[in-house]
Amino acid sequence: MDEFELIDRYFRRTVGHGVALGIGDDGAVLNVPNGRQLVAVVDTTVAGVHYPDNLPAADIGYRAVAVNLSDIAAMGATPSWMTLALTLPASDPDWLEQFASGMFAAADAYGVALVGGDTTRGSQTVVSVQLLGHAASHAILKRSGARPGDGIYVSGTLGDAAAGLQLLQKGEAGDFLKERFRRPEARVTLGQAVASIAGAAIDISDGLAADLDRILTASGVGATVDRQALPLSAELLAWAGADEARRLALTGGDDYELCLAVPAVDEAEFQRLARQAGVSVTRIGVAEATPGLRISTGGADVRPLKEPGFRHF
Ligand SMILES: [Mg+2]
């Protein structure tokens, strides 16, 4: 199969919203709605580095889109279009069909249209997705807006995906935890719902400690997080025990939940909007003027935490 046949067979779809010109020309032409700004994110996943080599192709496709949707969610933006750069050791029709089905399952859930792509042969599978969305300029969530006194919140539960990855690598049972790694649920609806009141946001890809630290650094503030307040799933607690579950929740990656800083006066409204969006949120700490990330145990025994999350290099 040559490149043209491959794209045509697996990746050509009807055009989506705002697509003036889609796949088939040298570039896509896209209409950003009036009064909105373009938001662009990109994420590359490499077989054996970001996921186990034996991960099913449908999950690889799903994750490649979901991790980008998560970045769009962290900006409070509306996802619209994506491009795909795919490097493969061989063009295996079964693999491609499964990959495309997973990729479009994630894209279709948010009305995202594939508007272009490139395929090439390489020594290992590398999937790079660029996602484009838009947002009202007054409601773009940044990392730099946290202020002392803000409540620190996270969505969902933490640590599940890190446990799920271990289960996948060991070939052990545990469907809930493995699903949390294989099919992360991007918090797009939550990000959009709270974009105009949250002060700062980031999605948790490298672990809460590492990603919250990015908010704190960008905002020039610090925070204390209560380890006992970290939201943990029953499945993680049963598998790991409380101490290891909290460690995974703090430092494990791949959860793709949102971490947000919310001004105290807006916390009630924030919680109401999250409920309306159908996403659980948990207040895990508070932003402070003193730089650095500190961990308490139920508010006591406060000590600095400097454990890194996922190391990219
Ligand atoms: Mg991110």
Compute, in angstroms, the gap from residue 4 CA to the centroid of ligand 1. Answer: 32
Compute, in angstroms, the gap from residue 54 CA to the centroid of ligand 1. Answer: 25
The predicted structure's pLDDT at residue 159: 98
Compute, in angstroms, the gap from residue 5 CA to the centroid of ligand 1. Answer: 34
The predicted structure's pLDDT at residue 181: 97
Compute, in angstroms, the gap from residue 174 CA to the centroid of ligand 1. Answer: 27
Compute, in angstroms, the gap from residue 51 CA to the centroid of ligand 1. Answer: 17
The predicted structure's pLDDT at residue 4: 65
Compute, in angstroms, the gap from residue 273 CA to the centroid of ligand 1. Answer: 22
| Ligand 1 (single-atom ion) residues, CB below 5 Å | 71, 203
Compute, in angstroms, the gap from residue 310 CA to the centroid of ligand 1. Answer: 13
The predicted structure's pLDDT at residue 309: 52
The predicted structure's pLDDT at residue 14: 66
Q: Which residues of the chain have pLDDT under 70?
A: 1, 3-4, 14-15, 306-313
Compute, in angstroms, the gap from residue 291 CA to the centroid of ligand 1. Answer: 22
Compute, in angstroms, the gap from residue 184 CA to the centroid of ligand 1. Answer: 13
8 A C-beta contact, residue 46 and residue 126: yes
Compute, in angstroms, the gap from residue 300 CA to the centroid of ligand 1. Answer: 31
Instruction: Give the phi and the psi of residue 312 in degrees, each rounded to 5.
Output: -80, -25
Compute, in angstroms, the gap from residue 202 CA to the centroid of ligand 1. Answer: 6
Compute, in angstroms, the gap from residue 215 CA to the centroid of ligand 1. Answer: 11
The predicted structure's pLDDT at residue 308: 46
Compute, in angstroms, the gap from residue 222 CA to the centroid of ligand 1. Answer: 20
